[in-house]
Chain A
Amino acid sequence: MWKRESHLLDKKEQKNLRTGDLGNSNKGRPAIENPQSRRLFFYPFFLTFIIMCGTWVVLSGKFDPFHLSLGLISCGIVAYLSCDLLFPSPKIRGLLGQWARFARYIPWLMCEIIKANLHVTYLVFHPRMMELIDPKIVKFRSKLESDLALVTFANSITLTPGTITVSVSIDGDFKVHAIDKASGDPLPGAMEANIAKAFGEV
């Protein structure tokens, strides 16, 4: 019933697709009839189901059997409908370690965000603001590989020092709008290194 889309796969698999190295991904569309791909379908389903159950407990706050069974049914429906959205590739090995490393990245990001916001607030309330700002567009190329790492990097750029991501290409070409010289220069810098560490792409 659910046909999988090739553009939902991550970039490495798309590259494999292009170079003809099909491997397990079976042309990007694992047919459900294939027993092996059914097993591959199972892990994302199960993982999505568990995540959804956690979310349901936070949302619901009712622990009588009636509501819990409703929750299990709902989680099953969502996992059936959308597990290929949450985990587009069936490979889930090393995912937990990745999440743990990602959790260590967040405090650093928060620190950066607060610094950046103080900077922008200073600019906003400065009476001669028009002379301080000097908007320009910076282009650079990132070394990050996977889709998620690129998106995290782009969103972190948007949240931190006076910079907004204008566009990202699938190969990692960034265009960034920086509001003044001081904020645009240090890119990609330490943030890219930190994200690379968080996603295990050192």
Chain B
Amino acid sequence: MDIIVCLLLFAGLFFFTGGAVGILRFPDFYSRLHPAGKLDTLGLLLALIGLALFNLHHFSLGTLLTSLKIILIAVFVFLASPTATHAIVDAGVRAGLAPWTKGEKRR
């Protein structure tokens, strides 16, 4: 049981690392959103599932409901995060940022 929890948690942390490094490395605003929007969402989902499983160690109605609440956070983030990403892209488009194309310098 602990091993599964650790695996899920570390997978989540791995995707979080990808997100953080991606935000630093990618060349422009639009491509930076790809790691920020996707990797963070999946990392959060995996880490939260791991933690919810760990919380079920001492099984009772209370811990079950707490785990359900943790899952509720994940569901909420899954609805909200793509929307936030979309809103930021929209803001960038309206602010008049031109997308980076191949061969340009990074900004």
Binding site for B on A (CB under 8 A): 55, 58-59, 61, 113-114, 116-117, 120-121, 123-125, 129-130, 133-137, 154-155, 158-160, 162, 164-167, 177, 179
Bound form: Cα–Cα A154–B79 in Å = 11
Q: A58-B69, A61-B65 are in contact. Are A167 and B90 (CB under 8 A)?
A: yes
In the assembled complex, B93 has its CB within 8 A of some CB on chain A: yes
Contacts of A134 in B (CB 8 A): 101-102
Given A164-B34, A165-B89; A124-B65 close (CB under 8 Å): no
Instruction: Considering the complex, give the chain B residue whose CB is closest to the CB of A57.
Output: B65
Q: Is the interface of A mostly helix, strand, loop or mixed?
A: helix
Interface size range of chain B in the complex: 35 or more
Bound complex: CA A144 to CA B107 (Å): 37
Residue interface bits B12-27, CB-to-A below 8 A is 1, else 0: 0011001001100111
Are A166 and B15 in contact, CB atoms less than 8 angstroms apart?
no
Query: Does A177 contact B38, Cβ atoms closer than 8 Å?
Result: no
Stretch of B2-10, B51-59, B80-88 that contacts chain A: B80-88
A125 near B41 (CB under 8 angstroms)? Answer: no
B22 touches A120 (CB 8 A): yes
Contact at A117–B38, with CB atoms within 8 Å?
yes
List the B side residues contacting A130 at CB < 8 Å: 27, 106
Say how far A4's CB is from chain B's closest CB, in angstroms: 23
Q: Does B47 contact A (CB under 8 A)?
A: no
Q: Which among B21, B39, B82, B85 has the greatest number of chain A C-beta atoms within 10 A? A: B82
Q: In the complex, what residues of B have CB within 8 A of residue A158's CB?
A: 37-38, 82, 85-86
Tell me, in angstroms, the Cα distance from A179 to B85 when the chains sit together. 15
CB atoms of B101 and A162 under 8 A apart? no
Task: State the Cβ distance, B43 to closest chain A Cβ, in Å.
Answer: 8
8 A-B pairs in the complex with CB atoms less than 8 angstroms apart? A58-B65, A59-B69, A121-B14, A124-B26, A133-B26, A164-B89, A166-B89, A167-B90
Q: Known contacts A59-B69, A155-B83: does B62 contact A117 (CB below 8 Å)?
A: no
| Cβ B65 vs Cβ A114 within 8 A | no
Contact A116 B89, CB 8 Å, known A58-B65, A59-B69, A155-B83: no
Q: Which of A58, A113, A160, A162 is in CB contact (< 8 Å) with B68?
A: A58
Q: What are the 6 tightest A-B residue pairs by CB atom distance, in nearest-first order? A: A158-B82, A155-B82, A124-B22, A61-B65, A121-B18, A117-B42
Cα(A198)–Cα(B89), bound, Å: 27
Cβ-defined contact, A154 with B101, below 8 A: no
